[in-house]
Amino acid sequence: MSNDPYTVISADAHAGLPTPLYRDYLDKKYWPQFDEFLAGRDQAVEDIHRMGTSDRAFAEKWFAENEEGLEGGWDAQRRNKEMDDDGITAEVIFPDADAVESRTCAPFGVGLGLSGDMDPEIGLAGARAHNRWLAEMCADSPERRRGAALVQITADTDDVLAEIRRSYESGLRVVMIPAMWMNQEPYHSRRYDPVWQLCEELKMPVVTHSGPADKESYGENLGIYVTEVVWWPARPLWFMLWSGVFERFPGLRFGVTEAGCWWVPGLLWFWDRLFLGQKGAEKLSSLGITMQPSEQFDRNCFIGSSNTKRREIGMRYEIGLDNMLWGNDFPHPEGTWPRSREWLAKTYHDVPIAETRRMIGEAAAEVYGFDLASLRPHAERINVTPESLGQTDDAANVARWAGHREVGRHWLTGHDFPLAPV
Amino acid sequence: MSNDPYTVISADAHAGLPTPLYRDYLDKKYWPQFDEFLAGRDQAVEDIHRMGTSDRAFAEKWFAENEEGLEGGWDAQRRNKEMDDDGITAEVIFPDADAVESRTCAPFGVGLGLSGDMDPEIGLAGARAHNRWLAEMCADSPERRRGAALVQITADTDDVLAEIRRSYESGLRVVMIPAMWMNQEPYHSRRYDPVWQLCEELKMPVVTHSGPADKESYGENLGIYVTEVVWWPARPLWFMLWSGVFERFPGLRFGVTEAGCWWVPGLLWFWDRLFLGQKGAEKLSSLGITMQPSEQFDRNCFIGSSNTKRREIGMRYEIGLDNMLWGNDFPHPEGTWPRSREWLAKTYHDVPIAETRRMIGEAAAEVYGFDLASLRPHAERINVTPESLGQTDDAANVARWAGHREVGRHWLTGHDFPLAPV
């Protein structure tokens, strides 16, 4: 029984058409702008190499070694094969399959570059094209896929709500919003309440995905970008939490994707301290914040930590086992594909099996509404088992972590440190 | 011997004249603008209460209970008495003694509100007034004080260098820069190299202090401010580190003050991983980054963690014992004054004595250039001892932390977690 296969869900995967092919999904009136956009793509590839997030030698090797698998970025059948081989039962799909040279960039750059300050008409048009195509792809093996509709929520609210409804009706079940509102209203604004309300009603989790940052301020300094690229997509979380969005919409789920989760324990501790302090509580209550931040986080938030690191595994009792969703980031080179089975073993080998089930699949199934029963035949075929992850002595693993598990969020359990008492 | 008194250095204290009294230190040509500034102060107090960082009932109680002690905000004799009573041997002095109603705000708000986008002439004029007065105050018991000169480094470079030299000659030994450059050039710019060079030459640590944030984006949501108020003053650290400032100026010291240090371990781990990865190292080396980030941090950076929390104590082997300077934040209500002796006991009671000596005094002495021999008579009179902190069984405390100390920065010592192996 305990060696039953895992339902491995990648809460971070990518898909996108080779950019020119998006034309068929784009309203004809935007074709002239699309031609202009296509003409500028070569420069965009130059910029990517200049910033150093990729380099030419690496790119050539990557494309040569993975030519067939990378077609899974847009071809559903190939994608299914890659998932099976890589150990993945089901997946949540974000835009932009090609992270190396951005050759499957959504029209007008509305994919991972989705930004609050885009021309709203153009932004929604480009997003609609991607969303239409993505819905088609998710219609292949729908039980295995949850596609994220791109929605520039800073646009006109009626247009935004219409696109969310249209996406839902077409089969998409997730709403990806711009990580950065830029010159538009911050996400604490009540202006967005109708968006949160509709997403709550439709049970569509709202997510950001890393990529955007304050790039104009960085010059060519790659390290600054890498430092801040996890902060900007996370920022909406505390704008929503501290303005009471999760109190007004208790069924809403908000997630930050591919931003690691190593920064979560410090914030939860910091936030709860503010809330639990007498002065803070009084002021916050007058602002409509009546629920402890870590409780709001547990109920409403999650992190797509993607290629979870061992350091983060050590923090899981503070972050919350259900709040840190694993993902293979297919088909991005910084992800674990095509070696996710090895990565899962390397990362979870000493984690109790019951915890692993939550962290690599069942928590994601709940957040994103996958049906575990429908996934079971896939999980059995794919056959990632506790034994295959090296979890051969579960009792020892349970015992090993008992002290840390008991301490958990130390500020709520009467301990000073997130360390097992010595 | 081991019960020798500690040299307790507060790396975060504040001083400022009641605002109208700054007139005598301000060049006469700016008096008309100063009159305008004074006229607007009542509204500023209103704003403070509205934002909820303070409230009226609390303010009344605070001023009533601490009337005499608060005069130590500008009166050197009174200040010495408060230091002695509170257990403080020496101190580093930042602006704005009154954090409750900002009634000792430096001219034109250049104190904790020092900002990169101020009118450079007015900004430097206001700073010069404060710096002149502060130098006078530091001339009383100079062995016990290091005053931070306010310097708006986004102004004309020649003016900036002149004010740093003038401040140094007047006895100030620290340079406080705007935490936020705002619409001016980010701190990775080579434009600031002459500033870093001069500060290195004069051995004046460069510091930011918390307070500024992206307030315009927060509305009235106090929790957003509290979340981000530690991030913005820390931001210059990674702009400088990743643009090679510490490689070009190896003797420069940069510190972030009153921003906690709970966020440091995650960043050091994240940064070292980028640097130690093959792809990252190649790209970074082409940008002039050749030294491991955590080594740069140890050599060039420090955090004024002020009222250090127990959670942070538990992280000290990752942060570095010499990189987290304690401070009483005198005379701010969120600090530990007038009960620092109790706070020190509460925070350090189970920390080995040798470590405590570094963390509450000797590390600050090195960074800020205090002379321990001159401070010794004060330390003996003030008499904060290991015994008075409850450190009665040092051998047990040393043993208790041995596992964590051995693990240290786990990513450099072959461990997966910042936890003692179980």
* A389-412 residue pLDDT tens: 999 999 999 999 999 999 999 999
Nearest CA of chain B to the CA of A187: how many Å? 9
In this prediction the ipTM stands at 0.96
* CA distances from residue B294 to A314, A328, B256, B276, B281 in whole angstroms, order as listed: 21, 29, 16, 11, 14
Task: With beta carbons under 8 A apart, name residues in chain B contacting A58.
Answer: 279
The answer to whether the CB atoms of B223 and A274 lie below 8 A apart is: yes
Q: Which residues contact B312 (CB under 8 A, 6 or more apart)?
A: B260, B261, B262, B305, B319, B324
| Cα separation, A154 vs A23, whole angstroms | 24
Q: Does domain B9-413 sit in CATH 1.10.150.390?
A: no
Instruction: Evaluate if residue A157 carries a pLDDT over 90.
Output: yes
| Cα separation, A361 vs A1, whole angstroms | 17
| Cα separation, A37 vs A41, whole angstroms | 7
Lowest mean pLDDT across A185-189, B51-55, B254-258, B408-412:
B51-55
pLDDT at A281: 82
Which one of A271, A418, A420 has the shortest CB-CB distance to B422? Answer: A420
Sorted by where each begins, the domain ranges of chain B are 9-413
User: For residue B58, what pLDDT band results from cuts at 50, 70 and 90?
Assistant: confident
The answer to whether the CB atoms of B311 and A269 lie below 8 A apart is: yes
Which candidate, A281, A269, A363, A383, places its Cα nearest to that of A323?
Answer: A363
**Residue that the structure tokens 């009471």 belong to:** A244
pLDDT at B405: 94
User: For residue A49, what pLDDT band results from cuts at 50, 70 and 90?
Assistant: confident
Task: With beta carbons under 8 A apart, name residues in chain A contacting B220.
Answer: 287
Among A184, A214, A242, pick the best mutation site for testing chain B contact (most B Cβ within 10 A).
Answer: A242
Q: What chain A residue is nearest to B401 in terms of C-alpha separation? A: A422
User: For residue A54, what pLDDT band results from cuts at 50, 70 and 90?
Assistant: low
Mean pLDDT, all residues of chain A: 95
Lowest mean pLDDT across A10-19, A38-47, A358-367:
A38-47
Among A226, A284, A291, A347, pick the best mutation site for testing chain B contact (most B Cβ within 10 A).
Answer: A226
- Map residue A188 onto helix, strand or coil: coil
The answer to whether residue B215 neighbours chain A at the CB level (below 8 Å) is no
**pLDDT tens column, B323-382:** 999 999 999 999 999 999 999 999 999 999 999 999 999 999 999 999 999 999 999 999
Nearest CA of chain A to the CA of B350: how many Å? 12
**pLDDT tens column, A57-93:** 888 999 999 999 999 999 999 999 999 999 999 999 9
**pLDDT tens column, B169-209:** 999 999 999 999 999 999 999 999 999 999 999 999 999 99
Which one of B226, B279, B419 has the shortest CB-CB distance to A274? Answer: B226
pLDDT at B30: 98
- Residue B150's identity, in one-letter code, is L
Q: Which CATH class is domain A9-412?
A: alpha beta
Lowest mean pLDDT across A286-290, A327-331, A332-336, B299-303:
A286-290
| Cα separation, B270 vs B94, whole angstroms | 31
pLDDT at A409: 97
Cβ atoms A269, A409 nearer than 8 A: yes
Task: Residue window 313-332, chain A: list those with CB within 8 Å of chain B.
Answer: 313-314
Instruction: Evaluate if residue B51 carries a pLDDT over 70.
Output: no
Helix (H) / strand (E) element for A62: namely helix A56-65
Task: Residue window 380-419, chain A: list those with CB within 8 Å of chain B.
Answer: 400-401, 403-404, 410-411, 416-419
Nearest CA of chain B to the CA of A400: how many Å? 7
**pLDDT tens column, A216-275:** 999 999 999 999 999 999 999 999 999 999 999 999 999 999 999 999 999 999 999 999
Task: Residue window 89-148, chain A: list those with CB within 8 Å of chain B.
Answer: none
The answer to whether residue A6 neighbours chain B at the CB level (below 8 Å) is no
Instruction: Evaluate if residue A1 carries a pLDDT over 60.
Output: no
User: For residue A2, what pLDDT band results from cuts at 50, 70 and 90?
Assistant: confident
**pLDDT tens column, A91-141:** 999 999 999 999 999 999 999 999 999 999 999 999 999 999 999 999 999
pLDDT at A295: 98
Instruction: Evaluate if residue B53 carries a pLDDT over 60.
Output: no
